[in-house]
Amino acid sequence: MNPPGASTRTHCPYCALQCAMHLDTGADGRLSARPADFPTNRGGLCRKGWTSADVLTVPDRLTRPLLRKDRDSDLVEVDWDTALDHIAERLLALRAESGPDTVSVFGSGGLTNEKSYALGKFARLALGTSQIDYNGRFCMSSAAAAGMRAFGLDRGMPFPLTDVGSAEVVLLAGANPAETMPPMMGHLSAPALIVIDPRRTATARVALDNGGLHLAPRPGTDLALALSLLHAVRVQGWVDTDYVTARTNGFEQAWEHAAAWWPEQTELLTGVPAEQIRAAADLLGKAARNHSAYILTGRGTEQHAKGTDTVSAWINLALALGLPGRAGSGYGCITGQGNGQGGREHGQKADQLPGYRKIDDPAARDHVARVWGVDPDSLPGPGRSAFELLDALGTPGGPRAMLLFGSNPVVSAPDAGRVRERLASLDLLVAADFVLSETAALADVVLPVAQWAEESGTMTNLEGRVLRRRRATPPPEGVRTDLEVLSALAVRLGQPAERFPTEPDTVLAELGAASAGGAADYSGVTPERLAAGEALHWPVRAGQEPTPRLFLDSFAHPDGRARFTAVAHRPAAEEPDSEFPLIATTGRLMGHYQSGAQTRRVPELNSAEPEVYVEVHPDTAARAGLAAGDLARLTSRRGHTSARVRLEPTARLDTVFMPFHYAGAQAANNLTNPALDPTSRMPEFKVSAVRLEPAPEP
């Protein structure tokens, strides 16, 4: 235990802003957080950050492995050797019976870069499986795919967040940072904001209070709205033709899909008044003329079965205005999970190897295999994406075992009831977690692992900035780190111990070598440079300076030009009908994070938002026979959930909203649609057709 008065500078365990904080040790040995100065948070923390140390000491913290001998038995405490021997024995038996792809791995955008890297390596070498993906697929994969096709490279924000604060105008599409990342609003106080969101969110209120705009499209129609803004920008004379000619390809092909979207036409589909569309185009266009505007997207645009095309439509608008690749303007994605950026770069994605390399690229396979000391032909190919993997579990030809790290898909995956059934059908489910989460409770083996402040590692924030999480306290006795778990399992599966080191800095050095020459090159990220300052925006090549601003001279496509993508509006995968007449959309609350496994255990956060609610327009509620505070039942084609009614006069009449941090009968994801984007494989979290009716009081 650290002595009283000790303090460690580190970063918040939650979102991709990665606010800096000091963890101070009190007289009783307990840690408490206070903000530290850092470019993203500028000395601020949200309530999750302030209370983050409380997660370390939750009463139901696991400190011994748990094992269920068979499906009908309860989980009982065992020692580590018993748990690890059991897992290895079962994995080897299943692999001998059905081949390596019978074993699968599910990771997380919350894992450090070192763990993400080690998990991908473990899957491909120790298990020999192609079946690995992670919950980041549910986060910003559509923006990543759209960024790749437009710019040839995906770094969420290809500029420092501090640049945004000096812009004249910022358009936020499907992002609500006032609720999800409050310190970010410090960067958004000066610009006029244009908020695109079906709800009058906290961010939309800030925009309106400061002379900006709030455009509230019907959920699932923002692709058409983005096309219409492109239309208005062209008609109103704001296209930067010199930039479009000099730095891009494909404008006319993209325009063909925007040409029909006159604002009046768009109003009929989206419900956004035509004059608001024209006003937004003028506001953006004038700022773009001064190279002083940004377009930022969030989950609201991305979590759709057409999420990649929707983000492409926003990028097309940015390109037409001449924003990307210029100082003072640009396009960026506001990544959500703490290591949503780094988590997608180092090999825990089904189709990738470290360094953001494609797993089916022979040169990438050669390079990584050389670093790993194996034959490139021994590396498996691409596997299933996150939902496809979860949905295949226990089915003929699908995996019969899963190892799950840092994720709680029973709450966070779409069609959560179906995911729960699939997980429960496995021959072996192993969960590494710090508590018995809703998913861990289904497992055959639960491994108690260290938390963020109990181990060191690196994270990559929403600006592609690599930073150091520092250990502030040892883990409780009996708890191991994920790296120690992977190493111990790998050895039991026949791997040499030296191939799976447990020291994070040793893993970082190897990650650097494996990523060298790739798009996300970390070969110059060293403990010394991290200690000297955390301004390491990737690529950070060995011996070279980091890259805070990308694309200033050229984009990453071979011809150096950005690409417009010709994208057309299409309806949501599921539209309301007489049986399910409303649209349900989901989102986040200030006091909770992801599946709530951490934040629902923090008394201060839980007491502020202890249960799920459904936000409904008063007229919509009255039509359903509901009043404020009533218990409502929401039903979709996939399942149902119960929630207290909160009336919101600014809500759309056709749309209800639920936060997704709650479990069981309160889980919003009981309702959500797993229809997948064809490019990113992102599920359609944001549009589900539902029925709203009174529920019996318990």
Residues that bind ligand SF4 (CB under 6 A): 12, 14-15, 17-19, 41, 45-46, 48-49, 181-183
Closer residue to ligand SF4 in complex, CB, 15/319: 15
Q: Describe the chain by its helix, strand, coil percentages, rounded to 5.
A: 35, 20, 45
Closer residue to ligand SF4 in complex, CB, 111/573: 111
- Using CA atoms, how far apart are residues 666 and 672, in angstroms rounded to an integer? 13
Quote the tokens at residue 685: 């979290």
Give the C-alpha distances (Å, rounded to integers) separating 660 from 7, 108, 409, 641: 34, 17, 12, 11
**Order of strands across the sheet that contains 192-196:** 213-215, 192-196, 169-173, 293-297, 330-333
| Strands annotated E in 474-570 | 536-537, 562-563
Give the shortest CB-21-to-ligand SF4 separation in angstroms.
Answer: 7
Give the C-alpha distances (Å, rounded to integers) separating 361 from 357, 366, 476: 8, 9, 43
Closer residue to ligand SF4 in complex, CB, 42/64: 42
Q: Which residues neighbour 251 within 8 Å (Cβ) at sequence distance 6 or greater? A: 244, 319, 320, 564
CA dihedral sign of residues 345, 347, 349, 350: positive
- Using CA atoms, how far apart are residues 195 and 176, in angstroms rounded to an integer? 9
Give the shortest CB-45-to-ligand SF4 separation in angstroms.
Answer: 4
Map tokens 């940015």 to a residue.
Answer: 318
Closer residue to ligand SF4 in complex, CB, 182/683: 182
Closest residue to ligand SF4 using C-beta atoms:
49
- Using CA atoms, how far apart are residues 383 and 402, in angstroms rounded to an integer? 14
Q: Is 697 exposed, middle or buried (0-12, 13-18, 19+ CB in 10 A)?
A: exposed
Give the C-alpha distances (Å, rounded to integers) separating 211 from 37, 76, 95, 330: 30, 59, 62, 22
**CB-based contact 53:396 (threshold 8 Å):** no
- Residue 602 sits at φ, ψ, to 5 deg, of -95, 115
Give the shortest CB-599-to-ligand SF4 separation in angstroms.
Answer: 9
Closer residue to ligand SF4 in complex, CB, 15/230: 15
Closer residue to ligand SF4 in complex, CB, 340/383: 340
Quote the tokens at residue 254: 């993209």
- Using CA atoms, how far apart are residues 482 and 501, in angstroms rounded to an integer? 11
Closer residue to ligand SF4 in complex, CB, 49/217: 49
Pairing between strand 457-460 and 465-469? antiparallel
Closer residue to ligand SF4 in complex, CB, 564/660: 660
Closer residue to ligand SF4 in complex, CB, 372/660: 660
Closer residue to ligand SF4 in complex, CB, 182/394: 182
- Using CA atoms, how far apart are residues 632 and 620, in angstroms rounded to an integer? 12
Closer residue to ligand SF4 in complex, CB, 15/671: 15
**CB-based contact 102:400 (threshold 8 Å):** yes
SS3 17: coil
- Using CA atoms, how far apart are residues 400 and 387, in angstroms rounded to an integer? 16
Closer residue to ligand SF4 in complex, CB, 18/203: 18
Closer residue to ligand SF4 in complex, CB, 21/83: 21
Give the shortest CB-18-to-ligand SF4 separation in angstroms.
Answer: 5
Closer residue to ligand SF4 in complex, CB, 178/509: 178
Q: Which residues neighbour 230 within 8 Å (Cβ) at sequence distance 6 or greater? A: 254, 255, 258, 261, 313, 316, 317, 320
Give the shortest CB-46-to-ligand SF4 separation in angstroms.
Answer: 3
Give the shortest CB-614-to-ligand SF4 separation in angstroms.
Answer: 24
SS3 326: strand
Give the shortest CB-502-to-ligand SF4 separation in angstroms.
Answer: 27
**CB-based contact 595:667 (threshold 8 Å):** no
- Using CA atoms, how far apart are residues 605 and 618, in angstroms rounded to an integer? 28
Closer residue to ligand SF4 in complex, CB, 44/674: 44
Give the shortest CB-625-to-ligand SF4 separation in angstroms.
Answer: 38
Query: DSSP states of 331-350 as a string?
Result: EEE---STTTTGGGTSS-ST
- Residue 668 sits at φ, ψ, to 5 deg, of -60, -30
Question: How many alpha carbons fall within 13 Å on the CB side of residue 95?
Answer: 19
Closer residue to ligand SF4 in complex, CB, 182/409: 182
Cα 458 off chain centre by: 17
Query: DSSP states of 215-273 as a string?
Result: E-PPTT-HHHHHHHHHHHHHHTT---HHHHHHHEE-HHHHHHHHTT--HHHHHHHH---
- Using CA atoms, how far apart are residues 416 and 419, in angstroms rounded to an integer? 5
